[in-house]
Amino acid sequence: MKTPKYLVPDLFMADPSAHVFNGRLYIYPSHDVDAGIPENDNGDHFDMRDYHVYSTDDIENGTLVDHGVVLDVKSIPWSGRQLWDSDVAYQDGKYYLYFSLKDRNDVFHLGVAVSENPEGPFTALDNPMKGSYSIDPCVFKDKDGANYIYFGGLWGGQLQRYRDNKAIECGQEPTDNEPALCPKVARLDTSMIEFAGEPRDLVILDEQGQPLKAGDHDRRFFEASWMHYYNGKYYFSYSTGNTHYLCYAMGDSPYGPFTYKGVILTPVVGWTTHHSICEFKGKWYLFHHDSVPSGGRTWLRSMKVVELDYNEDGTIQTIEGK
């Protein structure tokens, strides 16, 4: 599959997180709706309200099953609005859905919902994860069985409102010549619903070993954390947001540091680039989205998949988004 294909033509689904459970591929997207809210840099027009789950045993030629709504914002006890990106992890017979949601004070936190099955339905816990903030959770299980959660997003994702895991009064990005704000990483404890320690900065270095600068908008982190492991290396991939690249960095530990390596996906039609990378039946795939089917409406996105290829040195071959 060298040409990207759309996966759900009849509904607007975005931010696809793909995982293999019990030999079957499951996709956990966010669900775009047209809420009639004007576009702005805070992302208020992305007013998602529920999650579906999709699965298939053949991503290239098979049928994609829609398991329906598995979690609704109205069923989350602490909910305010905007049910943004999510991810799912498995541990000890249960499936944990980690989601981004604003509370009733319009502050983003990470929440957890639990199910006995990968296709849901999921039941949300009464409160957000203690000490969590911002958006876009991704959970990665390392080869030793430890689980790590990655998160963070600028602008509407509110990451700029925090320093050292504490809210600050006047949140803003650093100046162009200062180090960029970092995505966050924390190991999960055995309960899978709390951090095992304080979230750390995931530092992305340039080719000289220096942290990427805040003004380096073509390479610095903006949102959409994803982690995968390939051939002895950890790959942290992410979106640059306002420059619309999907980039990656490589490291030797789930905590990093990571060294910037290049672009996975060039800009697509639509403002955001959000993705996941998953191996299934011996092939690697990039799941992402664009806004072509909606006529370029950035808040109505459609998820896609394309095969992903590595070079002999472990770097990833760039895919053209348009």
**Residue positions annotated with a catalytic role:** 15, 223
Peptide bond into 257 cis (omega under 30): yes
Cβ-in-10-Å burial (0-12, 13-18, 19+) of 299 comes to buried
Cα four-point dihedral sign 255, 267, 20, 12: positive
Alpha carbon distance 288, 277 (integer Å): 9
The sign of the torsion formed by the CA atoms of 2, 285, 86, 155 equals negative
**Strands 204-205 and 258-265, bridge-based pairing:** parallel
Answer for the pair 310, 317: CB distance below 8 angstroms, yes or no: yes
- Residue 199: asked if its preceding bond is cis (omega within 30°), the reply is no
Kind and range of the H or E run holding 216: none
- Asked if 251 and 236 count as a contact pair (C-beta separation under 8 A), the reply is yes
Exposed/middle/buried for 84, CB within 10 Å: 0-12, 13-18, 19+? buried
Q: Which residue from 139, 140, 174, 175 is spatially nearest to 160, judged by alpha carbons? A: 174
The residues near 127 (Cβ < 8 Å, ≥ 6 apart) are 77, 78
Interatomic CA distance for residues 276 and 305, integer angstroms: 10
